[in-house]
A = this chain, B = another copy of it.
Amino acid sequence: MTPVPVSRRPAPDVARWCDEFEATCRARGVRVTPQRLAVYRALAEDLSHPTAEAVWARLRPRMPSLSPATVYRILESLDREGLVRRVSVTDGAGRFDANRGPHQHLVCRVCGRVRDVRDPTLTRVGLGRDAVRGFTVEELDIRIVGRCGRCRK
């Protein structure tokens, strides 16, 4: 029935992540609202690294009163709190990822699809001290740009 198959994270994982998410919020004294839970769940279910607008569009049928501004605000604050990650795709709208484990992103420069990968070589990468003198490293963001199978001619 669905023309474009949505890649979904396995339901048990989603359920566990949502439980952990709610627990973390409560532990940190962050208010748990239906909107926050819904946004987090939608992102956890979706493997396509959706934009804020896409998350909103997906939730709209179920939460008609949900405001796009609220989705932007929620994703921004979750990123700041380290509960989701903003993915750098350079152009167009910002995209988000509920996967906080160590991984890299394959970005297709033709269709814009983003896929998680875990390359042990890259995951193991350390930083030489000299390269970052005077700089406090907080995050290493690795983007692998190219063409996905569908877009290779």
A66 at the interface (CB under 8 A from B): no
B137 near A144: Cβ-Cβ < 8 Å:
yes
Which secondary structure dominates chain A's binding surface? mixed
Please provide the chain A residues from 11 to 62 with a CB less than 8 Å away from any CB of chain B in the complex: none
B135 near A128: Cβ-Cβ < 8 Å:
no
A109 partner residues in chain B, CB cutoff 8 A: 138
Minimum C-beta distance from A127 to chain B (A): 6
Q: What number of A residues sit within 8 Å (CB to CB) of B? A: 40
**Which residue on chain B has the smallest CB distance to residue A90?**
B88
A145 partner residues in chain B, CB cutoff 8 A: 137-141
Which residue in B121, B136, B148 is a CB contact (below 8 Å) of A126? B121
A63 at the interface (CB under 8 A from B): no
A10 partner residues in chain B, CB cutoff 8 A: none
Counting from the closest, the 3 A-B pairs by CB-CB distance are A134-B149, A119-B131, A88-B88
A/B interface sample: 25 pairs, CB < 8 A: A86-B90, A88-B88, A88-B89, A88-B90, A88-B141, A104-B131, A106-B132, A117-B131, A119-B131, A119-B132, A120-B128, A121-B125, A122-B127, A122-B131, A134-B148, A135-B144, A135-B147, A135-B148, A137-B144, A138-B146, A139-B144, A140-B143, A141-B142, A141-B144, A143-B143
